[in-house]
Amino acid sequence: MIRALNTLLLFATLAAQLWICSAVWAMEPSTLMRPHRYDTTLAITGWWMSEKLDGVRGYWDGEQLWSKNSHRLHPPQEFIEDLPPFAVEGELWAGCGRFEDTVSIVMQDQPHSGWLTLQLAIFDVPQEQGTFQQRIGKAQNWFQHHPSPYAHVIPQIPIQSVGHMEAELERIVQSGGEGLIVRDPLASYESGRSHSILKVKRYQDAEAVVVEHVPGAGRNLGRLGALLVERQDGVQFKIGSGFSDAEREHPPAVGSVITYKFYGMYQSGLPKFPVYLRQRLDAGL
């Protein structure tokens, strides 16, 4: 009898440990679903499109809010009290052109009222089985019955044609937005980069680390002329445009991560016409 109880206790302990490990694993960055870039050879008619919001990715596990790199965030109770008891993913977003404000709010390690200027714009239900249509339907049903002033499900629009998608992209860009996310509504959730979710922009973007400040000349004499940056693959190149006067006076520090945009690649592998977009202040989140 004692042996049997000890065996049951052992199994219960192992099960609890496995549950804890699986819960932590579910928040690891490598398990999150991430988009590929859209190219014109792909057939996306019948897929769904939504605006790509320029914010900070948030993961609500049913009890707590985390960043994409598994850092616990600290919203006030008012912000989270109407969130569902199941996991959802979304973008913490303050509005177009307010990325830096969003980062400043979510990086603080104590709850504060700044969170109440944000929205958790939900785009998936990662622990739910089934298609994207079924998963997002669960979130829509929840918020229909439990509306929150600080969270909503991002509207999804069925794509009628490539022209329809391009017209929506133009509308978003003209209103100050970044681009589109298009999804296969019949796809399951999968870890890592997925071909069933694509980002659509007028340009490509990527990240690099600042290696050196290159001095300017002419009107930029005495301040930044260009950044020498290094990609993850070790390739270095210069970015000399896209900076405001304030950024040339006080450029991103050596070692910091920046985002740049470009328009395809040369045969050498270097990006065409790289332009500075911003410092990636949320690189550690």
Residue numbers annotated as active site: 52
Tokens of 50: 């939504």
Backbone CA torsion sign across 42, 92, 135, 72: positive
The single residue listed with the structure tokens 């699986």 is 22
HEC readout, 108-143: CCCCCHHHHHCEEEEEECCCCCCCHHHHHHHHHHHH
CA pair distance 42, 197, nearest whole angstrom: 12
Helix (H, G, I), strand (E, B) or coil at 197: strand
CA pair distance 62, 65, nearest whole angstrom: 8
Fill in the DSSP letter of residue 270: P
Q: How many CA atoms lie within 13 A of 148 on its CB side?
A: 23
Tokens of 243: 């900076």
Query: How many residues appear in the chain?
Result: 285
Residue 22: what residue type?
S
Fill in the DSSP letter of residue 277: E
